[in-house]
Amino acid sequence: DAEGLLRIKEENQKHYRRAQRHQEKKEKIQKHNRKLGELVEKKTYDLKTQYEHLANLRRTHILELTSVIFPIEEVKTSMRDPADVSSESDNAMTSSTVSKLAEARRTTYLSGRWVCDDHNGDTSISITGPWITLPNNGDYSAYYNWVEEKKTTQGPDMEHNNPAYTISAALCYATQLVNTLSLILDVNLPKKLCNRQVNARLQGENLSRHRFTRAVKKLNANILHLCFSQHVNLDLLHPLHTLRNLMYLVSPDTENLGR
């Protein structure tokens, strides 16, 4: 029994010494982990600082781009409310008819239903200058009408103020701006849309209604994707408001612009 007790004591001493070595190794590992944690925390802070610096650079470049080359502004139209015009032209018209005309002017047919649009018909959005505008409600039927008219009319087009020209020019500039913004923000666009597809009209290649509508839908999808990436307030966006969505995206009030 005495020999067995001595043997057990020796084994306990060995285990104790081994436990001490493991404890020292554990302390070394914990110390190393603390150093790594501090290093990771410092690197994370540096990365966050660099992201903020990069975001500020992107924001500066975008604001300079949209103030010098591609200014986007809201242009008030001289269009009068149908309620006022109709009441002056026909005194016998009932008030209910006048109110219905005003209500119809402020609605847009979207995705199979009528939705309220407070900006419909009141304003238009210009890009690169007040003379190049797009209808605020996304109605580009003036282009289709022009194409159909050109098919039946022979001879050169001398009407330079035709809305089809301004619509094509505005969409072309918007496409150029969106492609440039995607490069500055380093955001891949979901739809591939080159300037030539929209600019084909200016080059004398009249797009069909289907191709034109398809190109506009691609452009609107890319603009919405950029707005989502920069956390633009969703309540401000409308899927048909091409330039208005762009205006909200590049606005100095957009807090996350450049993220």
d(CA 258, CA 240): 24
d(CA 169, CA 70): 12
Residue 208 falls inside a structural domain:
yes
Spatial CA neighbour of 105 closest among 83, 77, 88 = 83
Spatial CA neighbour of 124 closest among 57, 74, 180, 184 = 74
Residue 74 near residue 125 (C-beta atoms within 8 A)? yes
Residue-range definition of the domain harbouring residue 140: 122-258
d(CA 257, CA 53): 12
Q: Which two tokens stand for residue 249?
A: 């995206």
Residue 5 falls inside a structural domain:
no
What is the count of structural domains for the chain? 1
Spatial CA neighbour of 66 closest among 217, 253, 259, 241 = 253
Residue 162 near residue 144 (C-beta atoms within 8 A)? no
Residue 219 near residue 242 (C-beta atoms within 8 A)? yes
Residue 3 falls inside a structural domain:
no
d(CA 29, CA 172): 61
Residue 64 falls inside a structural domain:
no
d(CA 253, CA 181): 17
Residue 244 falls inside a structural domain:
yes
What is the SS3 assignment for 3? Answer: helix
Residue 238 falls inside a structural domain:
yes
**DSSP assignment, residue 100?**
H
Per-residue confidence of the chain (259 residues) as pLDDT tens digits? 999 999 999 999 999 989 999 999 999 999 999 999 999 999 999 999 999 999 999 999 999 999 999 998 888 765 444 444 444 445 445 556 656 665 665 565 544 555 555 444 457 888 988 888 888 777 787 777 776 776 666 555 555 557 778 888 888 899 999 999 999 999 999 988 877 666 655 444 556 777 888 888 999 999 999 999 999 998 888 888 889 999 999 988 888 888 8
- Helix ranges (DSSP H) in 69-94: 82-89
Q: Exposed e or buried b for every residue in 42-71, given b needs 16+ CB within 10 A?
A: eeeeeeeeeeeeebeebbeebbebbeeebe
Residue 178 falls inside a structural domain:
yes
Q: What is the pLDDT of residue 144?
A: 72
Q: Which two tokens stand for residue 224?
A: 């919405």
Strands 113-116 and 72-76: unpaired
Residue 151 falls inside a structural domain:
yes
Measure the CA angle with vertex 122, ends 62 and 222; round to 5°: 35
Place of tokens 């009441």: 87
